[in-house]
Structure 1
């Protein structure tokens, strides 16, 4: 029976990160060369912005070579060069899809052995399992960044979503906020809707987030600083009309229904908050559906990224300067 070891390996790793570590796992788009996912450290109360990049390999072939309780991973030089210059620390993760174990090692100069001009190898200790016991070491690895670097990396991670907007696709955020809890408990799901096929794809799913003592109307702009955020007006329309009738329209007791007064409706809508929930469940949970557009930061970042990716990018060396 055919099975896609790559997809299974990513799913197993996701489970380990989410359940055993309690952190955020984000699978990356295929265009991110050599990086399958990012881990974001979660403090238990909030996401920290501290990130680790993962290259995930799975299947029996990756466990054939061992030495002294180490699994030997061999790779090609082009991947190694990319990982060494990556803005995030990079882990190789070997996933045993039969036993649901993940073994990891950070790619650093002192751990890598160059075999030839085209290949290299690294030893991955069998004691390095992706589980709760690894949290302290992984936190130290992720913490080796300045606040500036963490902020820049958050934009790099969001690049695929910015590019989707730039290409004409819709980027939608669906979020729930438990409004009566000081913990700031809630959830967020980011979706991309293709302008060509109208196919909807989940790009980011945080089933549990915490923003203590913060209003989600403020949180959205902090989490997605590259976007102008507004309600999805088409989606909100039916909910707005129902709420408008309850708030403003007279009730016809003979007909047993509210009388919709069209000329009042636009004025009522103009008076509503720009960012607001479309409904509330039992006075406990606010439900949002929001639409993103690129703001000046997002537009400028894409311009910078394209410049940095340009093959014509030129840097001065000491020999170029008199």
Structure 2
């Protein structure tokens, strides 16, 4: 009598262990590559923060079974590959790769694949995985290793840049407002919209994605994080009307010295530092209003997107792209 035979797919068991940790413990997104041709990637981890998908990913190669834990030297598990075919695929890949070994006890240990951890041998590759690298405890390290998908960055930002440029050509202003409580560690309230010459909002832009628990101390870096493709400045006309404190008087009180006889503050004019990103409302609640103007990076993004949509063998366009990119300089 013949019965169907159970296929004990060890590779799938290893993937189940890793994907379970990724989704249940890290609250990241797991995208399996198990049904695809195996070139050295079993899955992709997408990083999330406070339920926001950040566009950062990392690739994973998984091995399952007790045999992968047999060789230990200098407090490292030693994994041996019988060929070198994955070496350049892992180390030269646009996505960083990590290597994970798992076993029947649901243990999982990992290492970032780089020139230090992957060593070429006469017969293949040797991978060193520190015995202290428990994957279950690696959420923060995995998040740091993950990289932004550059092509996705171009695609996702090109549309908003086109929109802003079109509005600015029609004499509209692109405005970003931001308010936060100084006693709270959350990202605050924000809006991105387009305003016409009569200060009427003509379009609200649902573009910005920020973590809810985001604390920053440098407004300039914060704006660079949100809008790397824009020059950002305060809305001077709006500040002239709504700014609660004269910036000169505020500077005197913060950095000058107080003369008891005259009852006034004095300061050295040569040492004045004007905060280009100061709030117009300052106190328990800080409120800002900024204007956005697409910069050279915005132009480069649109040019690269145009190239991506073109035929890649269009040598004339490729030459133009090369010349344009060479002329782009960024003062970050």
TM over 0.5: no
Q: Which has the larger radius of gyration?
A: 2
TM superposition score normalised by structure 2:
0.43
